[in-house]
Structure 1
Amino acid sequence: MRLKVSFQAMESTIPLNYNYFLSSFIYKRLASQNENFARFLHEKGYGKRFKFFTFSQLFFENSRVSGEKILIFPGKGWWYISSPVIEFVRYMFSSLSEDPVIRVEKTEFIVKSIDIENSLPDQSEYHFVMLSPLVVSVPEENNGKLYHRYLHPEEEEFYEVFRKNLVKKYRAFYGKEPEGTVEVIPDWDYIKSRQRITKRIKLKNAFVRAVVFPFKIRGEKKLVEIGYEAGFGEKNSMGFGMVALKKYER
């Protein structure tokens, strides 16, 4: 399930790298409804520490980037939150209904409406656009230190790691192996028409490299659904890997 949160923005500024603030905001809102659930999600998670939620970037009717800040002007805004865990969605809906404010650092946005969006339709193939950047990486060791090598869709390894991550999420959520697999087809026309599809995003004191590009995916629907609702790739609970159907309109 996913929520579409429509809000009103006034003239203000927020940090360019605001993912951490939104993730913290979500945990605080969950704790206001069920402190034990919020603590479990933050400290343990499901399976291999999957949190099973994701969220989009903040979308503004009128804004621009200036250095390390986003300048926001009066207008409408949208934010999307998604999870396959019903309790999560219910708690977030209740919390935002009771206290209709989104807080990013010292800036507040007034929530005007919260809509529950439908699940994926039955299709043989889905064409997705990204509502937040996608992170796919592999751990590697260099001089005794472990680091992450971030992958690009032009690398074949990207798709294998993408699929394995999806299977791990499915296994952790359902407690069994998926019946099939998926095939991911990137929008090469989009990728070739852009000078760069990578984004360098700061999380606390570290940087991650993410990518933004449309793609098609076909195969086992339950696998697609877990990615659609919990996020594709890594770091979903920090606001990465959220997608929408291509015909999607804000």
Structure 2
Amino acid sequence: MRFKVQLSIDKNAYGNALPFSYQYELSSFIYHTLAKGNAEYAEWLHENGFSLEGKQFRLFVFSPLLLKASVNKDINRLILVDDVATMQIGFLPERSTEEFVKGVFAEQRFTLGDKISKVQFSITGIELMPTPEWGGEMRGETLSPICLSQKNEEGQVHYFSASAPEAGEAVINNLRNKYRAFYGKPFAGDTAFEWETTSEPRAKLITVKAGTPQQTKIRASLCRFRLKADNELLRIGYEAGLGEKNSMGFGMVK
């Protein structure tokens, strides 16, 4: 289930300079909005969620803000041009009904930024988007970068590109794990799959919790792609994201 969220930008509140890396703050806004709307739902999402072998799958994903902006690399900011923006949010859990999502997000106001600058946004509308039909194949592109990684023997995380030899297995195994976490049973459908990037992936380095002791950097890929797989896995990828860290804004595709 995917929604298009319409936003207005109040430049008079704090200005129009937005840090490049704002995904963590946007993810926090989504969590807090769910908590205000339904404490029981938020506790289930955050504390229990869907787990598999100790790993949590929160099974929602969101796009970056879709807006007009100029880039100021000297201060690492986006300078917002218009007074409006949009974004998309996708939910896999069936409890995320249209009425629930529209109710908790309607007319919410939030601020994104850091100690240097921030921008205030207001939600002016939210609408349910139609679910595509794939016929066993998804050809698309990333709205937010796909994060793929593996740990070495020392426990260090290695991020790799969506065009790396191991990328296809990583994408499909992640979808199967999401299926198992959501339905509580292993995926038993068609196991055949094909994955290829149809454009040269562009690396993105995203800073999470910038300016804090917990600051980390995540490397991910923007690209066009073709994924051939069982339709149920394609639906999960569309509604909950491809790859890892979807609830932090990675892996939303169109």
Give the TM bin, normalised by the shorter chain.
0.7 to 0.9
In the other structure, the counterpart of 2:239 is 229
Please identify, of 115-124 and 85-94, the stretch whose mean Cα deviation from structure 2 is larger. Answer: 85-94
1:130 to 126, 142, 155: 142
In the other structure, the counterpart of 1:19 is 23
Give me the whole-angstrom Cα distance separating, in 2, the residues matched to 1:175 and 1:42. 18
Give me the whole-angstrom Cα distance separating, in 1, the residues matched to 2:5 and 2:84. 11
Whether the 8 Å CA contact 1:17–1:202 is kept in 2: the answer is: yes
2:82 to 70, 74, 95: 74
Residues 104, 89 of structure 1: CA spacing in aligned structure 2 closer, same or farther, 3 A cutoff? farther
Unaligned residue ranges in structure 2 (runs of 5+): 210-214
Q: Tell me the TM-score normalised to structure 1 length.
A: 0.87
Residues 61, 50 of structure 1: CA spacing in aligned structure 2 closer, same or farther, 3 A cutoff? same
Whether the 8 Å CA contact 1:10–1:72 is kept in 2: the answer is: no
- Matching of residue 34 in structure 1 with residue 38 in structure 2: yes
In the other structure, the counterpart of 2:172 is 163
Give me the whole-angstrom Cα distance separating, in 2, the residues matched to 1:88 and 1:103. 24
- What do the CA deviations read for 1:192-243 (whole angstroms, capped 9, x no partner)? xxxx611111112111110010101122000011111011100000000000
Q: How far has the Cα of 1:157 moved from its partner?
A: 1.0
Please identify, of 71-80 and 199-208, the stretch whose mean Cα deviation from structure 2 is larger. Answer: 71-80
Give me the whole-angstrom Cα distance separating, in 2, the residues matched to 1:16 and 1:219. 34
In the other structure, the counterpart of 1:6 is 6
Residues 141, 229 of structure 1: CA spacing in aligned structure 2 closer, same or farther, 3 A cutoff? same
Whether the 8 Å CA contact 2:148–2:162 is kept in 1: the answer is: no
Whether the 8 Å CA contact 1:9–1:73 is kept in 2: the answer is: no
2:127 to 99, 115, 125: 115
Whether the 8 Å CA contact 2:168–2:196 is kept in 1: the answer is: no
Residues 65, 57 of structure 1: CA spacing in aligned structure 2 closer, same or farther, 3 A cutoff? farther
SS class of match (1:42): helix
Give me the whole-angstrom Cα distance separating, in 2, the residues matched to 1:150 and 1:25. 26
Q: Tell me the TM-score normalised to structure 2 length.
A: 0.85
Whether the 8 Å CA contact 2:4–2:127 is kept in 1: the answer is: yes
Unaligned residue ranges in structure 1 (runs of 5+): 245-250
- What do the CA deviations read for 1:109-152 (whole angstroms, capped 9, x no partner)? 2223211011121423221111101001111133xxx1211111
SS class of match (1:215): strand
SS class of match (2:194): strand
In the other structure, the counterpart of 1:220 is 230
- Matching of residue 201 in structure 1 with residue 206 in structure 2: yes
- What do the CA deviations read for 1:43-71 (whole angstroms, capped 9, x no partner)? 23202310000100111134434432221
Whether the 8 Å CA contact 2:9–2:119 is kept in 1: the answer is: no
Residues 89, 22 of structure 1: CA spacing in aligned structure 2 closer, same or farther, 3 A cutoff? farther
RMSD: 1.8
In the other structure, the counterpart of 1:149 is 158
- Matching of residue 47 in structure 1 with residue 18 in structure 2: no
1:175 to 184, 193, 196: 184
Percent sequence identity is 32
Whether the 8 Å CA contact 1:135–1:211 is kept in 2: the answer is: yes
Give me the whole-angstrom Cα distance separating, in 2, the residues matched to 1:61 and 1:148. 34
Amino acid corresponding to residue 123 of structure 1 in structure 2: G
SS class of match (2:27): helix
- What do the CA deviations read for 1:7-57 (whole angstroms, capped 9, x no partner)? 222441222110110111001100111112212222232023100001001
SS class of match (1:25): helix
